[in-house]
Structure 1
Amino acid sequence: MKVNKIMAFRLMLSLIMIVGFASCSKKSSSKGASRATGWNVDSKKALSNKKQEAGPGLVFVEGGTFTMGKVEDDVMHDWNNTPTQQHVQSFYMDETEVTNFMYLEYLDWLKSVFPPSDENYKHIYEGASPDTLVWRNRLGYNETMTNNYLRHPSYANYPVVGVNWIQANEFSKWRTDRVNEAILEKNGYLKKNAKTDDVSAEATFSTETYLKAPTMTYGGNEEIVLKGGKGARKSPKAGKDGTVAEAKNVYVQRSSGILLPEYRLPTEAEWEYAAAADVGQREYNTYKGQKKYPWSGTYTRSGKRQNKGDQLANFKQGNGDYGGIAGWSDDGADITNAVKKYPANDFGLYDMAGNVAEWVADVYRPMIDNEANDFNYFRGNRYTKNKIGEDGKVEIVTLATMKRDTLSNGKIIVRSYPGQIAQVPVDEKETYLRQNFDKSDNINYRDGDKQSSRFYNFGSSDSDSQSQKDAKKMYNSPKHNVTTDSLGLMVRKYDNSSKRTTLINDEVRVYKGGSWRDRAYWLDPAQRRYFPQDMATDYIGFRCAMSRVGPKSDRKKSARN
């Protein structure tokens, strides 16, 4: 009996101590107390660990390692896809190629905001419009596609073509702003329907302008750019001394976790990783063999019972054979096909082989330099910064300062719009004593020339004229010149030099994947080709990507068994 009383006493004492310790612990980590300083801060916001939402149209691609450039054969003898081990961070990618319907939404917005009938804006809509003449062939009748492919509703869900790399890049920027504009409106930071009712050439939304100078968004119209989100419109109360403190953080910031990162073209490494989808071949931390195509197996036809014999992609099967004999066993298309007509790969991405080839962000070089970098490899970095005006504030692009580029074919494209923040190259203020980069333009870094210089004869005199320097460049590509005469007429000069040795320069971009015009050889995700960034074809389209912020994956890792 005595023993039981002692045991009961000890148990009661233990419970009291546990409750006491829990109470102390609760007090020491009270709500709002910083784990770094103990100060009362808004820890609920800081520790919310807000998950990034997938933007409209995007599919999550979990990153990892893969062998980039690994092909079963190289019958073209390009020698430009030597296998290298690369690691790609997690990112998002469009489920399908950008369709005609999606691109027409872009054109309709430009036409509404920047009327082509206005002399000031006539180049904007025209410069963004796809080249429908890419369908013409000297010995073929294709006028039906020339006149109908872009706009006829029958082709609405077909991938857009006739778009050059620059246009694809500008579409991605526009898409970023429209998506974030809708997010801010949904959360009560922008006037409802302002994106359609109040937008004009002088009052537009730019994500970067909103983040850096929100009061200058929509031309500085405070009736559109609202302070605080939903339920935060109440006037601040006066303090004990009668003064009213000005509200802080009334606009969305990056730290709010509401706005999405930018839509952009995928890098070559991202595109190839997503297309190969080796995750479907995963066995613990290795791959069970190498895929030849985005699907398993070494054949282009399905082996499954329910659709055995069906083609798994849209491609050219032989001379004069763009789809096969009419009937069940053909690939269902003679030109492009509507998206999602063929099975998705193991990442849930459609048409990563066939239909249309796709632009990627990289400048083309014959080699992938994994010795310099094997993490998120990308060649094409041109670092810029916001331009600061004389008043110390960011400089906003106006009608007078819009940047217009004249392409080699004479077409004029606008690459900065009113309402955006003007950009300038980074200078020594950002590069001084840095080890990771030392200039704004890094396209030619370690591209195979001697001593990693831009010229093949390293050590030439700085006093060389520009023509002498041009003659010594490693990539001696043609230079077509477009100028304007005194009457404002365009003068095109075609480079007829017989001394040109290559088509490679800083304005050629990589495109990946086979198309409806290509043989099965080009369906291999590791194959790579290049094309001038200011030219378009009837077989190259594109899709967008978005970087992933936060953890590599959201799902719990557990053993397979």
Structure 2
Amino acid sequence: MNKIKLVALVFVGLIGFSSCKKDKLGSALGFGSGKTSSVNIGSASTATGIAYNQKGGFQVEKKFSGQTTGPNLVFIEGGRFTMGTVEEDVLGTHDNIERTVSVQSFYMDETEIANIHWLEYLYAVQKDSTQEFYESALPDTTVWRNDLAFNDPYVEQYLRFPGFRMYPVVGVSWKQANDYCKWRTAAVNKQLAGGYNQVAEGKAPKGKKAQAKAAAAATQRTVAQSKPTIESGKVLPSYRLPTEAEWEYAAKALIGTIQEDENQSNQRIYPWDGPYMRDQFGKKTKGKMLANFKRGRGDYAGVAGKSNDGAIITTEVYSYAPNDFGLYQMAGNVNEWVYDLYRPLSFQDFNDLNPIRRNDYLDKSNLYDKKNNNSLIDNKSRVYKGGSWADVAYWLAPGTRRFIDEDSSTSTIGFRCAMISAGRLK
């Protein structure tokens, strides 16, 4: 009988101990209830016991519930993948040999940046910046001009005519794309914060005391509406160009091939399953082209009445089905700038976690002798990927890569933005 009592007491003690366990606290969980612990987790430091948010004390944002997903962004869960070319290297460049890398979770635009987005940008910088900067932000519309082709209407119409609003912006250099990312970061954060540094307009008060009172109130409003700090959680991380590894990982979207216990059913040549450019599986879309590309010499879209991809040049950014991450046109339509500097041997000099080539470390530009026209490679050579409306299917494979000068622009290169995923466990 005593043994039974002893077992019962131990059991009750274990229940009591488990009920006294402290609330678990995560970065995005906000303030805990404090009902099961002697210290109210979240309202006071678990390291010192000092209360948060006291007058003159350490301030902690109470309402943070995780990073806000910015406009047009899609969450890309990170992981391990085989980066590099998975088909025959027909050009013999050998500049993207397969290797295993891991990429941290991040966000990416679900579409390419469209003409309407760039016009919004031009409107904003014309209001708030110098005329010189506004002119530097203008896309080069002459990229459409060709002495042997009648593309003249696109020179004047493609960027600004409403019929092209949702077509991808082209004629944008790598540098211009980076400037757009910086502006977009500021514009989005200002919008999320409800605007800041704004003083309410109204009739001017009469009398010195009234004017002084109004000025003090205006100062308080300005302080209250000042730019939020990073600690507030109301400011998103910076928009930027994706790294080459991020772009390739997002394009392949191998999350759609995962089976149990990390097994993948197949590798992917393109952002979809199979080696074909036509839909093999859809009941209503079977046989339809999966991307906007050049089918062969002189064939940009097929025949009238049965166009194979529905677009002779670019097409709207939401055309065709998205990949398994929800990203549209990661193959075809336009090539896309990525952040990386081009080096043919990047696959040798890589970090296997979040790899990037941002400078000529370990692979100096003077090894390529561009000065004497023995190479096109220098410290301004930037990678672009994805294939375009004017490219054959070979370039639509995410593992292929090309480069061009960061100041250059063409009618076949656009871009989309990316952003770090801050504080996710995955």
The TM-score range, normalised by the shorter chain, is 0.7 to 0.9
Q: Which structure 2 residues correspond to residues 468-483 of structure 1 after superposition, within 5 A?
A: 473-478=366-371
Given the alignment, which residue of 151, 172, 180 partners 2:189?
Answer: 180
Q: Which structure 2 residues correspond to residues 121-140 of structure 1 after superposition, within 5 A?
A: 121-140=130-149
AA aligned to 1:289 is N
Residue 292 (str. 1) matches residue 303 (str. 2): no
Q: Which structure 2 residues correspond to residues 41-440 of structure 1 after superposition, within 5 A?
A: 41-42=52-53, 45=60, 50-114=65-129, 121-185=130-194, 189-191=196-198, 223=219, 226-228=222-224, 252-283=228-259, 284-303=261-280, 304-369=282-347, 372-380=350-358
Q: TM-score scaled by structure 1?
A: 0.64
Q: Which residue of 2 aligns with 1:550?
A: 423
Q: Deviations over 1:460-514 (max 9, x none)?
A: xxxxxxxxxxxxx212114xxxxxxxxxxxxxxxxxxxx3210000001000011
Q: TM-score scaled by structure 2?
A: 0.83
Q: Which residue of 2 aligns with 1:29?
A: 39
Q: Deviations over 1:291-337 (max 9, x none)?
A: 11101111001122211111000000001000111223510000000
Q: Is the Cα–Cα contact under 8 Å of residues 191 and 223 in structure 1 kept in the other structure?
A: no
CA distance in 2, matches of 1:258, 1:379: 31
Aligned with 2:124: secondary structure? helix
- Work out the percentage of aligned pairs sharing the same amino acid: 46
Q: Which residue of 2 aligns with 1:529?
A: 402
User: Aligned-residue CA RMSD in angstroms?
Assistant: 3.0
Aligned with 2:184: secondary structure? helix
CA shift in 2, pair 1:33/1:172, >3 Å: closer
How far the C-alpha of 1:377 sits from its partner, in A, is 0.7
CA shift in 2, pair 1:296/1:193, >3 Å: farther
Q: Is the Cα–Cα contact under 8 Å of residues 311 and 329 in structure 1 kept in the other structure?
A: no
CA shift in 2, pair 1:84/1:326, >3 Å: same
CA distance in 1, matches of 2:111, 2:200: 28
CA distance in 2, matches of 1:225, 1:55: 26
How far the C-alpha of 1:227 sits from its partner, in A, is 2.8
Aligned with 2:287: secondary structure? coil
CA distance in 2, matches of 1:142, 1:224: 56
Q: Is the Cα–Cα contact under 8 Å of residues 85 and 370 in structure 1 kept in the other structure?
A: no
Q: Which residue of 1 aligns with 2:211?
A: none
CA shift in 2, pair 1:179/1:251, >3 Å: closer
Q: Which residue of 2 aligns with 1:417?
A: none
Q: Deviations over 1:499-552 (max 9, x none)?
A: 321000000100001100000000100100000000100000000001110114
Aligned with 1:60: secondary structure? strand
CA distance in 2, matches of 1:261, 1:225: 25
Q: Is the Cα–Cα contact under 8 Å of residues 65 and 85 in structure 1 kept in the other structure?
A: yes
Structure 2 residue runs of 5 or longer lacking an equivalent are 23-34, 202-217
CA shift in 2, pair 1:224/1:105, >3 Å: farther
AA aligned to 2:38 is S
CA distance in 1, matches of 2:106, 2:199: 31
Q: Which structure 2 residues correspond to residues 446-525 of structure 1 after superposition, within 5 A?
A: 446-447=362-363, 454=364, 473-478=366-371, 499-525=372-398
CA shift in 2, pair 1:23/1:339, >3 Å: closer
CA distance in 1, matches of 2:106, 2:200: 31
CA distance in 2, matches of 1:89, 1:259: 20
How far the C-alpha of 1:251 sits from its partner, in A, is 6.2
Q: Which residue of 1 aligns with 2:26?
A: none
CA shift in 2, pair 1:29/1:542, >3 Å: same
Q: Is the Cα–Cα contact under 8 Å of residues 350 and 356 in structure 2 kept in the other structure?
A: no
Q: Deviations over 1:79-123 (max 9, x none)?
A: 111111111110000010000000000001112223xxxxxx332
Aligned with 1:96: secondary structure? coil
Aligned with 1:305: secondary structure? coil
Between the two proteins, the alignment pairs up a number of residues equal to 385
CA distance in 2, matches of 1:98, 1:192: 33
Q: Which residue of 1 aligns with 2:205?
A: none
CA distance in 1, matches of 2:265, 2:414: 32
Q: Which residue of 2 aligns with 1:485?
A: none
CA shift in 2, pair 1:282/1:370, >3 Å: farther
